[in-house]
Chain A
Amino acid sequence: MAQQNKGVDLRSLPLDKLQMVGKSLEQDLENLTASYSGLSVAAAKFRTSRASLEAINDDNQGKDVLLPLTTSMYVPGKLADVSKVMVDVGTGYYVEKSIPDAQAFFDRKLEFLKSQSEAVEKQIATKNQQYRVLRQIAGEAQAKAEAEARATAGASSSS
């Protein structure tokens, strides 16, 4: 919807149309901001997972750990196998990976999220710019409409 306003001179639109375009821009901005923060949350998760891999090494083989069964309950355990981890690849599938492979997996995901975030960031900047221009034009149109209303009111009361 918002793409249409690129070809149209905004100054030629009536005030209510301008407001409609503004609403749709606001909506777009809201959606983009939401997906941006969603991407940030996902990236943070992958970063944590990648950092956790650092602890899965030969030095820690056989050491005691506390396993979170839920976020508030832990059971003691031992690190039996430090050569492999299970990675969630999505839609309920998990893949057994070596530590370097798992690191590569998280790097891949982080790289992907980074490029997505940058794309969304650019879109947000463009929309913000469009929104600023629109607000300015809408403000001018509003002022003009009010001036005209005053003029006609003055004319009809004097006649």
Chain B
Amino acid sequence: MSGLTPEQLNQLSADIESAMHEEQTAQVELNKLVQSRAGYAARLNENTMVKEEFDLLDDDARVFKLIGPALVLQDVDEAKQNVEKRLEYITAEMGRLDGAITAKEGVVQAAQKKVAKLNQKAYQMQLAAQKLQQMQNMPQEVQQKKINA
């Protein structure tokens, strides 16, 4: 029960390689999602602070928006609504990304498990082959030729 024909060996190492590739791809995608979530978190922070400032304003306050090189007078209520809307949008996006991140983490973990399982299988096959070698008690070079053949 060596289980180590050259075909099987090749198949196994190909499987391991593709599983590792899968894991890496998922990891890269996960990192991208986490990065974009961090971007939204930063925007959420800034917009929250702007909202806090707007909430402190007097009724007669004058609010401007920097558009290109010019400060343009804004309607205060409109500006407040704008920030409010942006906060809603950002929060929704972050919720969506949180879901996507959890899902992707699941994919990464599944891929990691698959790699570990295949590595385990390879290790066991190696052990079995070694036992077989010892039982047959052949010189090393002959063994090697047999395996490589």
Contact = CB atoms under 8 A, between A and B. Distances in A.
Interface of A: 86, 88-96, 105
Contacts, number: 45
Contacts of B62: 95-96
Interface of B: 46-47, 49-50, 53-54, 57, 61-67, 71, 74, 79, 83, 86
Given A86-B71, A105-B53, A91 B47 contact: yes
B65 A95 contact: no
A82 B66 CA distance: 22
Contacts of B86: 91
A113 B7 CA distance: 64
A63 B143 CA distance: 97
A105 B100 CA distance: 38
Contacts of B64: 86, 93-96
A91 B83 contact: yes
Contacts of A90: 46-47, 49-50, 53
B65 A89 contact: no
Nearest to B43: A91
Contacts of A93: 50, 54, 63-66, 74, 79, 83
Contacts of B67: 92
14 contacts: A86-B64, A86-B71, A88-B66, A89-B50, A89-B53, A90-B46, A90-B47, A90-B53, A92-B67, A93-B66, A93-B83, A94-B66, A95-B61, A95-B62
A94 B71 contact: yes
A89 B49 contact: yes
